Amino acid sequence: MKIVFSTFLFFIVLGHSCLYAQSEADKLEAALKGELADTARIRVLTALVKEYQFVDFTKSQAYTEEALKLAEKTESVKHKVDAYLTASVLYASTGDFSSALRFDNRALELDITTKDSTNISRDYNNIGHDYYDLGEYDDAYFYFTQSYRIASVIKDTLRMLISLHNVGRVFKELGQYDQALDHLQLSLKMSQEHHDTEGIAYALHEIGDVMLRKNQYDSALNFLTDALAKVRSMHIDEIHPQVLANIGSVYLSKSDFSKALAYYDSAYTLHAKTNNRYGMAEIELGRGIVFIKQKKYDEALDKIEKSLVIARELNARVLEIRSFYQLSVLWETKGDHKKSLEYFKQYKLLEDTLFSQEMQGKLLRDQIRFETESRDTQIAALSRLQTSQRSELRKQEFVRNILVVVMALSAILLITVYRSGQRRRKINMLLLNHQDEMEKRSEELERLNQVKDKFFSIISHDLRSPINALAGLLDLIDKGAIKPEEMHKHTKELKVRFNHTRTLLNNLLDWTLLQMDKLNLQAAKINLYRLVEENIQLLGSVQDKKISMLNEVPENAIGFADSNTINLVIRNLMTNAIKFTNDGGRVVIAAREQGREWIVSVSDNGVGMKPEVLSMLFDKTAPYTTRGTANEKGTGLGLILCKEFVEKNGGRIWVESAEDKGSTFYFTLPKS
């Protein structure tokens, strides 16, 4: 009865809150119907987005899009930034963190032009959130610490507190729980001192999550229950479902499956209200783990596979890693060790990619630099305290002895010099930060220039050669220097050069459209078998190496992607395979299903590649190229285009090769 009454009371409070929100929303919508200037209209629209964000996602999204359209027309930086931040918050609440990152970066670019340090610190923190949610913790740590640095310069205590809290979250995800607790407990203490009740709720939730990961379940439950009480009393909708989900995870760890599912269901309902697909996928994964424990394997498989599909669609790599691991556990429990090993390999591969040595090294360097600067700040603070204490002693001595007057004047002079030095230090720090930004921009420009130079080199060299050959041949024909029986030999060579040049021109045009963002992709159902068959017919008529090409793609292989770009990918990969296969060799094109994807492969039994070459194939700053088995020329541009087009269609591309044993290129496509 107590539980029923509490639930009833909760819905009464929730209903009252919704009525109040609806009343405010009605007033704003009435104002929207009147004649308003664009800037005033943007303010009303962004307010409506916040009103409907946790009530009616469809309306919230519509108002966001209208605010963005108006913002692009206005010259007001402030209103553009407001619209971008509103869009970022909305997309983040749905789990679309990539879109949120895009809008936060736009806001940062505008705030940098106004040199508003407070807003820049806020934008760095928002971008750090986006990278954190995407699982890119090295970038998240960098932006959180940058936010802290700027906040410390302008003495924005609240922003410093938030940054410390977020740095603690990064350490939590990296498994450095002691460091995470140090930062989170410090942020909790600062929130209590500044009476920041919302900050207290966030800190309690994160500390509870750390305790859960340390397997201290009773402690975790205490912190999370306190956090839930504050979240509900203050209507902090952003983390309400997360707190419920973590409490459900505690009960799961304590093997209280009925309570775990009850909390997961409550969290799922709240995520569904904001269409937060990432949050719903996390809950599906939690339910799947419960069903594994309950030996309901079919239901578990359904839930975990749903989580994996959404994780891939959102590029949520941490959630994808967790899903692969639980699928491995599920099949191991069912006794299918082969499937279990397959999922475990995918789990380890993705985990090693995400938590690579490069990422760990970058994070360690940022951590050392941040901690060093923090210690310098503490030392400076102690120095100021000591100076203040000396000044107080001198004042007391002045009362006792007139000679203190001289010492007091000296102290004043020292303080003036010290403050001047502090100002210079701050200015130098800002100049150094500016210099770092300029160096980064310079490196980026240099990289782009290298790309430009490479493609100009391709145009100037590889296009000139066949044209010169054609001019020479025409000149010889004009002079009658070529006998009729020699024409076949020369035209055959010219045909090879022409085919190479035509392929190069098509690739250059496609690459140019891609760089100018003028290439419109139109996804539709495509028959992969038919596409491969057409390319076999085309390439079979122009290649003279007597290479057999086999189409092992199932006739029912229907993908969902842009037909033109995928056709180019298949043709480029087949051309590449023919190029590096000896006369009489074999090229096999195949496809197999995996989850919601088709994995297409192009294999040859040609010369293969050394391991050091594999890492260079898709580098657009320095395209790798070498001559084929029949001395065919190349530019390396084809594989770069393949990578760009596959990723534009939502897939991935990779290669496996061994020297003298041939190569296999793989790419994925969504299923229809």
Confidence of residue 440 (pLDDT cuts 50, 70, 90): confident
Confidence of residue 357 (pLDDT cuts 50, 70, 90): very low
Return the structure tokens found at 557. Answer: 């292989």
Within 13 A of 377's CA, how many CA atoms are on the CB side?
A: 16
**Domain containing residue 607: CATH number:** 3.30.565.10
Gap between the Cα atoms of 328 and 346, Å rounded: 9
Statement: residue 592 has pLDDT above 90: yes
Statement: residue 256 has pLDDT above 60: yes
Q: Is 205 helix (H, G, I), strand (E, B) or coil?
A: helix
Q: What's at 455, amino acid-wise?
A: F
Would you say residue 591 lies in a domain? yes
In the chain, the largest separation of any two C-alpha atoms, in whole Å, equals 120
The values of phi and psi at residue 660, to 5°, are 70, 10
Per-residue CA distances from 172 to 132, 214, 270 (Å)? 11, 10, 25
Would you say residue 509 lies in a domain? no
What is the per-residue pLDDT for 512?
64
Statement: residue 358 has pLDDT above 80: no
**Burial (CB count <10 Å: 0-12, 13-18, 19+), residue 545:** middle
Would you say residue 485 lies in a domain? no
Domain end residue (candidates: 320, 355, 390): 355
Would you say residue 561 lies in a domain? yes
Answer left, alpha or beta for residue 39, where phi above 0 means left and psi between -120 and 50 means alpha. Answer: alpha
Would you say residue 22 lies in a domain? no
pLDDT tens for 363-375 read: 445 554 555 444 4
Contacts of 209 (CB under 8 A, 6+ apart): 172, 220, 224, 246
What is the per-residue pLDDT for 4?
32
- Asked if residues 582 and 545 have their Cβ atoms less than 8 Å apart, the reply is yes
**Domain containing residue 329: CATH number:** 1.25.40.10
Per-residue CA distances from 97 to 45, 138, 183, 279 (Å)? 22, 16, 25, 12
Is residue 557 within a helix (H) or strand (E), and if so which, with residue range? Answer: none
Is residue 394 within a helix (H) or strand (E), and if so which, with residue range? Answer: helix 357-400
pLDDT tens for 512-533 read: 666 655 567 788 999 999 999 9
Of 9 and 22, the one with more pLDDT: 22
Confidence of residue 234 (pLDDT cuts 50, 70, 90): confident
The single-letter DSSP state of residue 636 is S
Domain end residue (candidates: 355, 376, 404): 355
Gap between the Cα atoms of 16 and 550, Å rounded: 68
Number of domains present in the structure of the chain: 2
Q: DSSP readout, 300-316?
A: HHHHHHHHHHHHHHTT-
Contacts of 452 (CB under 8 A, 6+ apart): none
Would you say residue 492 lies in a domain? no
What is the per-residue pLDDT for 408?
78
pLDDT tens for 37-75 read: 777 888 888 888 777 766 777 877 888 888 788 878 887
Would you say residue 455 lies in a domain? no
Would you say residue 512 lies in a domain? no
Of 477 and 465, the one with more pLDDT: 477
The values of phi and psi at residue 671, to 5°, are -80, 155
Contacts of 204 (CB under 8 A, 6+ apart): 188, 223, 224, 226, 227, 230
Statement: residue 388 has pLDDT above 60: no
**Which residue in this structure is represented by tokens 């090295």?**
138
What is the per-residue pLDDT for 601?
96
Quote the domain boundaries for residue 627. Answer: 520-670
Statement: residue 551 has pLDDT above 90: yes
pLDDT tens for 115-150 read: 888 888 888 888 988 888 887 878 888 888 888 888
Gap between the Cα atoms of 489 and 495, Å rounded: 10
Give the residue ranges of DSSP H helices in 254-296. 257-273, 277-293
Gap between the Cα atoms of 11 and 14, Å rounded: 5
- Asked if residues 552 and 588 have their Cβ atoms less than 8 Å apart, the reply is yes
Domain end residue (candidates: 304, 321, 355): 355
Statement: residue 379 has pLDDT above 60: no
